[in-house]
Amino acid sequence: MPKYAVITGFLGQTKDRFHVYNENLSVEQKFELAKSIPGYDGVEVVFPYEVNDPALTTALLQKHKLDVSAVNVNIKAEPEFLQGSLTSPDKAIRNKAIQFIKDAKDFAIAIGAPRVTCCPLGDGYEFPFNCDYQIMWKRLVDGFGEAGAHKSEMPLFIEYKPKETRGRCFINRAEKTLCLLNEIKNPAMGITVDYGHAIYADEHPAEVICLLEDSPYPYYIHINDNDRTWDWDYFCGSHTLLDYIEFLYYLKKFNYTDYITSDTHPTRWDLVGTFEVNARITEKIWKLLDRVGLDEIEKKINHPDYLVTWKFVEEELLGLR
């Protein structure tokens, strides 16, 4: 069965342009809350703004009997990163972003995390003639390449997203992220697949997993859901249930045993309950796939008449008998 973790940034107070949600909690309170969510035993922590003291973080993890799924390094929030971090026109600012990632890798080693993940949301553009795409791409290759080479025993994963905070992020789709890694050629790097980012990038999340499974690079999973128009970070299955079932089918087929981490935003809904849904629906689908059988599903996937396949989906996967 999968292992479940939660991004701790969502366990305290969050904001959008109009509202403030939930209470402001200390790191220890967030860890205590994470441990109380049914099915969860892991956390993805945000560096350097949420955690930055290895000894304190390790002590709190041990106290609350939690593992770390990843260290999420933030390279978008500094005022200097307003015009980009790894692609900034100022080399000193690019170096600062690279150092953030290097420091995150050092921190991850110190607390025993399995990876660092980074989503370069400040690197992108809004308008035609806004930037020289060739120069920007080279800066991304060089920046991530240098950061990935630091302490290569600690893997660096890149998370892609279509947009936010920029109108269009440079690293916006799975295949483009794969192109980036193919240029860097560092086997100690991987891709963080956020289910919701794939959905609203007009990707098919199951196809993304198949693409990456046959690549030289490992992948790590974030889960949530949305309406295909924006990264709402809703709970799993609320909008694209059948896509999520197919996504989990391929994770199961490929023997994915790493953490599945909730990147979900509880705004108007109970905080613990929102994350509990993610584990509950995932567990139910995982068991459903066991009952139906991967071999039986594979036969129907390859059936020449999709109406036969759909009837199977109706009855066996959706229970519409």
- pLDDT for the residue 274: 97
CATH number at residue 25: 3.20.20.150
Q: Which residue has the tokens 């560092």?
A: 186
**Percent of the chain whose predicted confidence (pLDDT) is above 90:** 98
**169, part of any domain:** yes
Predicted local distance difference test score (pLDDT) of residue 1: 80
Residue 157 counted as domain residue:
yes
Q: Is residue 163 part of a domain?
A: yes
Distances (CA, A) of 177 to 80, 173, 174, 183, 211: 24, 6, 5, 10, 12
Domain membership of residue 302 (yes or no) is: no
In a domain, 87, yes or no: yes
Averaged pLDDT of the chain: 97
Asked if residue 315 is part of any domain, the answer here is no
Domains: count for the chain: 1
pLDDT tens for each residue of 266-289? 999 999 999 999 999 999 999 999
Residue 73 falls within a domain, yes or no?
yes
**pLDDT tens digits along 11-26:** 999 999 899 999 999 9
| pLDDT tens digit sequence for 139-194 | 999 999 999 999 999 999 999 999 999 999 999 999 999 999 999 999 999 999 99
- Give per-residue pLDDT as tens, 110-149: 999 999 999 999 999 999 999 999 999 999 999 999 999 9
Q: Which pLDDT belongs to residue 17?
A: 87
pTM: 0.97
Whole-Å CA distances, 92 to 85, 98, 231, 232: 10, 10, 32, 34
Q: Is residue 308 part of a domain?
A: no
Domain span at residue 268 reads 3-290
